[in-house]
């Protein structure tokens, strides 16, 4: 049975799940969620996911939300990108770090700067979250100074989680040129067979609403 991932192109968290699925060779298809017209707030969607968020993964009788849970499901089913024996705790450590320190503020900052009308953007909040993000970029860039991947000798879901927002073109205070080790690492992920940019991997992008 082909799995279904409810997602939309602008969602970095959905991208983490979609990228894990495609790089693992999973049989799946995207299902577009019209987030910007309120789809995640609809009663039907809340029946699917009471949290009212994407991504949502469906396969047979299994329904999962939260990108990390979906990524771990894919690892369990395929045996791919979970790290070698003994590396699992470090993979989890970086996924938790990403959700709290990197993707969380990156997603919010990108939304505030690009998807709100200019007169509604809270400049003080944006400045605060950008400062927190700068610290997160520094942590990741330093960690990658002498390695190709976040954990071990190959790509894991730690990499696929931490990269979730860093390929998007909309400005949110991240410039790859400022972080040479992150830049090299992102090139390495993009060179993996099957990699696609989020706007090519999932339906929905800003040009659809232009």
The string of pLDDT tens digits covering residues 12-57 is: 999 999 999 999 999 999 999 999 999 999 999 999 999 999 999 9
Looking at residue 210, its pLDDT comes to 67
Looking at residue 60, its pLDDT comes to 93
**pLDDT at residue 106 greater than cutoff 80:** yes
Q: Compute CA 76 distance to the chain's CA centroid, rounded to the nearest angstrom.
A: 19
Looking at residue 206, its pLDDT comes to 87
The structural domains of the chain, ordered by start, are 3-81+195-209 (3.40.30.10), 88-190 (1.20.1050.10)
For residue 99, name the pLDDT band (cuts at 50, 70, 90): very high
Average pLDDT value over all residues in the chain: 97
Residues 180-205 have a mean pLDDT of 97
Looking at residue 86, its pLDDT comes to 98
**pLDDT at residue 209 greater than cutoff 80:** no
Residue-wise pLDDT for 59-86, tens only, equals 999 999 999 999 999 999 999 999 999 9
Global pTM?
A: 0.97
Looking at residue 204, its pLDDT comes to 94
């Amino acid at each position: 049975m082909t799995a279904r991932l409810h997602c939309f192109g602008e969602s970095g968290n959905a991208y983490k799940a979609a990228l894990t699925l495609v790089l693992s060779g999973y049989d799946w298809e995207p299902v577009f969620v019209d987030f910007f017209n309120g789809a995640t707030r609809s009663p039907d969607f809340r029946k699917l996911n009471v949290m009212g968020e994407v991504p949502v993964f469906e396969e047979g009788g299994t329904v999962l939300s939260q990108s990390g849970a979906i990524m771990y499901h894919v690892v369990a089913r395929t045996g791919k990108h979970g790290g070698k024996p003994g590396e699992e705790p470090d993979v989890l450590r970086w996924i938790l770090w990403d959700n709290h320190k990197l993707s969380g503020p990156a997603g919010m900052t990108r939304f505030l700067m690009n998807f709100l009308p200019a007169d509604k953007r809270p400049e003080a909040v944006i400045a605060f979250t950008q400062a927190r993000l700068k610290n997160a970029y520094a942590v990741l860039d330093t960690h990658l100074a002498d390695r190709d991947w976040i954990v071990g000798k190959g790509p894991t879901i730690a990499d696929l989680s931490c990269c979730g927002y860093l390929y998007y073109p909309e400005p949110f205070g991240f410039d790859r040129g400022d972080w040479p080790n992150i830049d090299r690492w992102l090139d390495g992920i993009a060179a993996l067979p099957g990699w696609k940019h989020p706007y090519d991997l999932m339906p929905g992008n800003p040009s659809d609403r232009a």
